[in-house]
Amino acid sequence: MNNSEYRKKYEQLVSELKKVSLFGSCGSVLGWDEQANMPPKGGEHRANQLSLLAGMGHQMATSPELGDLIGELEALKSFDDSEEPEAVVISEARREYDRSTKLPQTLVEEISKVTSLGQQAWIEARKNKDFSAFQPWLEKIVGLKREEADAIGYDGGQPYDALLDAYEPGASTAEIDAVFTAFRAPLVELLNEIADSPVKAEAALLERSYPIDQQKEFALEAAAAIGFDFEAGRLDIAAHPFCSGIGPGDCRLTTRYDEHHFPGAFFGTLHEAGHGIYEQGLDSEWYGTAIGESASLGIHESQSRMWENLVGRSQPFWEHFYSRAQHYFPTALGDVPQVKFHQAINDVRPTFIRVEADEVTYNLHIMLRFELEQLLISGDLAPADVPEVWDEKFTESFGITPPDVSQGCLQDVHWGHGLIGYFPTYALGNMYASQIYNQAEKELGDLGQMFAEGEFLPLKVWLNEKVHKNGRRYKANRLVEVVTGESLSHEPLLAHLRNRFGPLYNL
C-alpha cells in the first residue's frame, strides 16, 4: 500500500464530501425559511428553488468521480469493518453513494418539489380541518415514496425497510415491530393501572393564561440553562416545531405558542433544544463526513426526548425552575404548589395530539403511525381512507375518537414533508434515552440532585463526549452498546415509566 497516495485520496474524498454537505446546507436554510419566514404566496417559487437544489445536490452526491474516488480508497486500504473514524468515513461514503445512485435525479427533484408544496398544503388543510385539500398531495407523496423504495430495494423484506433505512440505518421493519410488540402489552398494563388510580392531576391549571411573551422568555432561559448555545442558534415560530442543523455554528429551533396551554411551547422548546445540543455537540472538524453527522434519527430523538422528559418533567428540574415559572406567570401559578404543578405536567390520560402526549401514551401514538405507514407504502391502505382508518385504530388504542382531522390524521407535518419512515424513531429514541440516561447517572452520580441545584452541564458535557462526538462512528444499536454495555431493550424505558408514575399515582 502506498500510504502517501492513500492520504492524498482520502483528503480529496473529505473535501468532496464537505462540498456535498455545504450544498445541502443551502437547501436547509431555504427549508427553514420556508416554515419560519416565507410569505404564503412564495410557496410555488420556493418549491422550484428546492427542487433545483435537490437535483444539483444529487448530481454532486452521485458523480462518477466521487464513486471512483471511494473505490480507489477501498482498493488501497482494507479496514475489515473497522470502527476507526477514517474507515467509517469511507464505508459510510460508500453506503450513501450506493443508495443515492439508485435514485434517478428526476425522482429526487420531483420528491423535493412535491413535498415542499405538500407541507404548505398541509398547513392550510390542518388549519381548515379539511383532509380533502391534502388528500391529492398525500396520494402523490405516497406514490413517490413507493417509487423511492422500489428504486433502492429492500432485500426480500418489505418496501418500508428501504424508507426506514434513511432514518435508522441498518434497522428493519421486522426488528422494530418485534421490539414494539414486546413493549406494548406492559405499556398498556401500566396505562390501565394509572386509569384505575383514584389520584387525578389538576391538568386544567396548565390551561390558565400564560402570556406568550413570558412563555418565550422562560423557554429561552431553560434552553440556555441545559446547554443550548444561542450564540450558535436561535428560536423562532413555525406551524410544527422542528430543529434544523444548518452547519457548524448555525442551529435553528422553532416552536409554537398557545396562551392557554403551557406545556406545548415549553416542553416543545426543551425537545428541540435537545436536538440542537446534539447538533452543536457534533465535531465540527469532521463536518461533511460520517463522523460529523448524527448516528441515526433514533439517537437524535433520544437526545431530545431525554431533555424534554427524563430531565424536563422530573421533580428535581422543577425544584430549581418552579420559582422562575412563578416569576414569569404569577397569575397562573402564584397560588399553585409545586407538587400540584408537577403532577399536572405528568398527567397521564389519552389525548389526541402526539406532541402534547404524556410519556406513557406517547409510544402508542408512534405505534399507530408505524402501522399506518407500512400499510400506505405496501398499498394496503389508500390515502383517501386514512381519516377513517386513523379514527378507527385511534379509538381502539385510546378509547377516544378525534373530533376532526386537525386532531387526527392531519396533526403532524411528516407525511406532507415526505418523511415516511421517521415516526418509529421517536419510540426508539425513548428507549435509547432511558438506557443512556441510566449510564450517565452511574458515571456522574445523582443527576437529580444536580438538577435541583441548577447544574445541567455535567450531563450535557457527558453526552457531548459519549454520544455526540462519535457521530456516525457506530450504528445506533452499536453506539448504545458502546456507551451502556447493553443492546436495545424496552425494559429500561418501562422501568423509568414505572419509577416516575408509580409514586405519582400511588400504584
Is 405's pLDDT higher than 70?
A: yes
The set of residues, in sequence order, having a beta carbon less than 8 Å from that of 465 and lying 6+ positions away, is none
- Mean pLDDT for 409-425 is 96
Q: What is the pLDDT of residue 354?
A: 94
What cell does 94 get?
460508500
Between β-strands 250-255 and 243-247, what pairing exists: parallel, antiparallel or unpaired? antiparallel
Distances (CA, A) of 328 to 119, 157, 322: 34, 53, 10
- Taking the CA of residue 136 as centre, how many other CA atoms within 13 Å lie in the half-sphere pointing to its CB? 4
Percent of residues, the chain, with pLDDT higher than 90: 95
| pLDDT tens, residue by residue, 447-504 | 999 999 999 999 999 999 999 999 999 999 999 999 999 999 999 999 999 999 999 9
Q: Measured over all CA atoms, what is the biggest interatomic distance in the chain, rounded to whole angstroms? A: 74
Contact 284, 292 (CB under 8 A): yes
Question: Which amino acid is located at 387 in the chain?
Answer: P
Whole-number Å distance between alpha carbons of 116 and 145: 14
pLDDT at 135 over 70: yes
What residue spans define the domains of the chain? 3-101, 173-504
Residues annotated as part of the active site:
272
Are 251 and 280 contacting, i.e. CB atoms less than 8 angstroms apart? Answer: yes
Q: Are 197 and 505 in contact (CB under 8 A)?
A: yes
Q: Quote the mean pLDDT of the chain.
A: 95
Confidence category of residue 82, pLDDT binned at 50, 70, 90: confident
Which pLDDT score, from 0 to 100, does residue 26 have? Answer: 95
Residue 169 has pLDDT above 80, yes or no: yes
**250-255 and 233-237 beta bridge pairing:** parallel
Local structure of residue 234 (DSSP, 8 states) = E
Tell me how far apart the alpha carbons of residues 343 and 42 are, in angstroms, rounded to a whole number: 44
Contacts of 71 (CB under 8 A, 6+ apart): none
The CATH classification of domain 173-504, taken from the options 3.40.1740.10, 3.40.50.300, 1.10.1370.30, 3.40.140.10: 1.10.1370.30
Please write the tens of the pLDDT for every residue from 196-245.
Answer: 999 999 999 999 999 999 999 999 999 999 999 999 999 999 988 999 99
CA distance 1 to 77: 7
Torsion of CA 108, 111, 112, 113, to 10 degrees: 120
Task: Return the SS3 of 472.
Answer: coil
Q: Determine how many CB atoms are found less than 10 A away from the CB of residue 4.
A: 7
The residues, any chain, with a CB within 8 Å of residue 132's CB and separated by 6 or more, are: none
446-450 contacts at long range (C-beta below 8 A, 24 or more positions apart): 447/316, 448/314, 448/315, 448/316, 449/316, 450/316
State the Rg of the chain over Cα: 23
pLDDT at 1: 55
Distance in angstroms (rounded) separating the CA atoms of residues 190 and 113: 44
What is the pLDDT, as a whole number, of residue 413?
92
Local confidence band at 81 (pLDDT 50, 70, 90 cut-offs):
confident
pLDDT tens digits, one per residue of 253-303: 999 999 999 999 999 999 999 999 999 999 999 999 999 999 999 999 999
Residue 244 has what DSSP assignment?
E
- Model confidence pLDDT, tens digit, residues 6-58: 999 999 999 999 999 999 999 999 999 999 999 999 999 999 999 999 999 99
Q: How confident is the model at residue 77 (pLDDT cuts 50, 70, 90)?
A: confident
Which amino acid, one-letter code, is at 95? R
pTM for the full predicted model: 0.93
For residues 455 and 439, what is the distance between their CA atoms, to the nearest angstrom?
18
- Half-sphere exposure for 437 (CA within 13 Å, toward CB): 25
Query: Which residue, among 205, 210, 108, 117, has the nearest Cα to 166 in the 3D structure?
Result: 108
Q: Compute the average pLDDT of residues 368-380.
A: 97
Q: Which of 295, 433, 452 is nearest to 359 (CA)?
A: 433
Question: How wide is the angle at C-alpha 495 spanned by C-alphas 493 and 497, nearest 5°?
Answer: 70
Distance CA 368, CA 357 (A): 14
CB 472 within 8 A of CB 413: no
Q: How far apart are CA 375 and CA 168, in angstroms?
A: 19
Q: Which strands form 243-247's sheet, in the order they lie side by side? A: 233-237, 250-255, 243-247
The four Cα atoms 161, 83, 457, 427 give a dihedral, to 10 degrees, of 20
**Distances in Å between the alpha carbon of 247 and those of 32, 250, 268, 478?**
13, 5, 22, 25
Name the 3-class secondary structure at 80. Answer: coil
Tell me how far the alpha carbon of residue 495 is from its chain's centroid.
23
Task: Quote the distance between the C-alpha of residue 335 and its chain's center.
Answer: 36
Give CA–CA dist 132/278, Å, rounded: 38
DSSP bridge partners of 243: 253
Nearest to 458 by CA among 252, 298, 253, 311: 311
